[in-house]
Amino acid sequence: MNVPLLDLKPQLAALRPQIIEAVTRVIDSTGYILGPEVTGLERKIAQYCGTEYGVGLSSGTDALLAALMSLEIGPGDLVLTTPYTFFATMGTILRVGAQPLFVDIEPESFNIDPERVAEALAADRKNGGKIKAIIPVHLYGQCADMRRIAALAAEYGVPVIEDAAQAIGAECPYEENGAVTWKKAGSMGLCGCFSFFPSKNLGGIGDGGMLTTSDRHFVEVVLSNRNHGAEPKYYHSRVGGNFRLDPIQAAVLTVKLDHLDNWHAARRRNADRYRQLFRDTGLVGEKVALPQAVYADLPGADSHNHHIYNQFVILVSKRDELRQYLQEHSVGCEIYYPLCLHQQECLRPDQYKRQSFPVAQQAAANSLALPIFPELVDEQLVYVVETIQKFYRTC
């Protein structure tokens, strides 16, 4: 049996006529920059996420970059974030000339630890307040503890940029006007940054991204930065870039958005099935640790996207050997991410390399992502778990 890590073909097959129609519509319109497809998607994503505005951008990376540029973060500034995420989270901080300040993650969720965030903010205040933004990442499709992070951000007056690239539609409990409600990723910070990279839960047929916000002034700055800071055309009061979302991507994503919650639900069903299959193997707690859905047991969680499983990531012993074994037995798997950001070669000065974030480093050493895409069939899930079981029996 063959179980790829991700297969986009069944999704394409199901939506092929609508996708071809959407692409053809853009081609025939001859309007190839921004326009009604982009505006339409911006409105729909904002509505879906529960924000006032959406800004279509060229990628998730450019959404982060535009957010940092729009806050005028630059040399001398620190941005508080996690060392355990995709490179773009840190790459964009460095590209605006600022420095990342890392704190460790929680072992349960792999997300930034609010306790450590509190410590860093308190220390920074004594240091003159160099932290100009916090970027929590909703890793693998599960929100960071936004309730506590937002409270800390408000206390210290630091804006939050949610890196929601892996978490469109993911929800977590949040406190608003003294009451606790479920809120969607990208609606709790100053802004949320989304990616439509094809492997994300909502993926285009190429690169794309979106920024969500409910701040009217901020959205105007982001819109300006998306188009070289031109206001009006050919008059530049600031230096922006070309961060525009392609209307072909917007048209395709509009087709797919209607199916997103069903895909999330299918991924959650697959995750539940994995949990059941793994429990029957007796490996859990010994060789394998299953991902924790930290909001799943809260009241009402069943009717919310408490985890959208962009990735289903287990922690395992003998990770590299298991990975090779799975590949040899036609099971796709991947390591997200093998090296923490503070250990990346591109970082200067070397002081980062002397830092240590034990929880993040442990995750980098032991994590393995298994196939979780919506269209997997039960025989495939069974085969994945059986193959893992066989590996531990023979090694």
Is residue 197 part of the contact set for ligand PLP (CB under 6 A)? yes
Is residue 144 part of the contact set for ligand PLP (CB under 6 A)? no
Give the binding range for ligand PLP (CB under 6 A) out of 54-62, 98-106, 276-284, 313-321: 54-62
Is residue 89 part of the contact set for ligand PLP (CB under 6 A)? yes
Least spacing, CB of residue 347 vs ligand PLP, in Å: 17
Instruction: Identify which of residues 56 and 60 has a Cβ nearer to ligand PLP in the complex.
Output: 60
Is residue 88 part of the contact set for ligand PLP (CB under 6 A)? yes
Is residue 86 part of the contact set for ligand PLP (CB under 6 A)? yes
Is residue 61 part of the contact set for ligand PLP (CB under 6 A)? yes
Is residue 201 part of the contact set for ligand PLP (CB under 6 A)? no
Is residue 374 part of the contact set for ligand PLP (CB under 6 A)? no
Is residue 311 part of the contact set for ligand PLP (CB under 6 A)? no
Q: Which of 209, 291, 371, 374 binds ligand PLP (CB under 6 A)?
A: 209
Is residue 189 part of the contact set for ligand PLP (CB under 6 A)? no
SS3 for the chain is CCECCCCCHHHHHHHHHHHHHHHHHHHHHCCCCCCHHHHHHHHHHHHHHCCCEEEEECCHHHHHHHHHHHCCCCCCCEEEECCCCCCHHHHHHHHCCCEEEECCECCCCCCECHHHHHHHHHHHHHCCCCEEEEECECHHHCCCCHHHHHHHHHHHCCCEEEECCCCCCCEEEEEECCEEEEEECCCCCCEEEEECCCCCCCCCCCCCEEEEECCHHHHHHHHHHHECCECCCCCECCCCCECECCHHHHHHHHHHHCCHHHHHHHHHHHHHHHHHHHHHHCCECCCEECCCCCCCCCCCHHHCCCCCCCCEEEEECCHHHHHHHHHHCCECCECCCCCCHHHCCCCCCCHHHHCCCHHHHHHHHHEEEECCCCCCCHHHHHHHHHHHHHHHHHC
Is residue 120 part of the contact set for ligand PLP (CB under 6 A)? no
Q: Which of 11, 81, 82, 85 binds ligand PLP (CB under 6 A)?
A: 85
Give the binding range for ligand PLP (CB under 6 A) out of 24-32, 158-166, 179-187, 315-323: 158-166
Instruction: Identify which of residues 140 and 391 has a Cβ nearer to ligand PLP in the complex.
Output: 140
Least spacing, CB of residue 138 vs ligand PLP, in Å: 8
Is residue 163 part of the contact set for ligand PLP (CB under 6 A)? yes
Is residue 153 part of the contact set for ligand PLP (CB under 6 A)? no
Is residue 51 part of the contact set for ligand PLP (CB under 6 A)? no
Pairing of strands 161-163, 191-195: parallel
Least spacing, CB of residue 7 vs ligand PLP, in Å: 19
**Contact (CB, 8 A) for 109 and 137:** no
Least spacing, CB of residue 375 vs ligand PLP, in Å: 21
* Contact residues for ligand PLP, defined by CB under 6 A: 59-61, 85-86, 88-89, 137, 163, 165-166, 195, 197, 207, 209
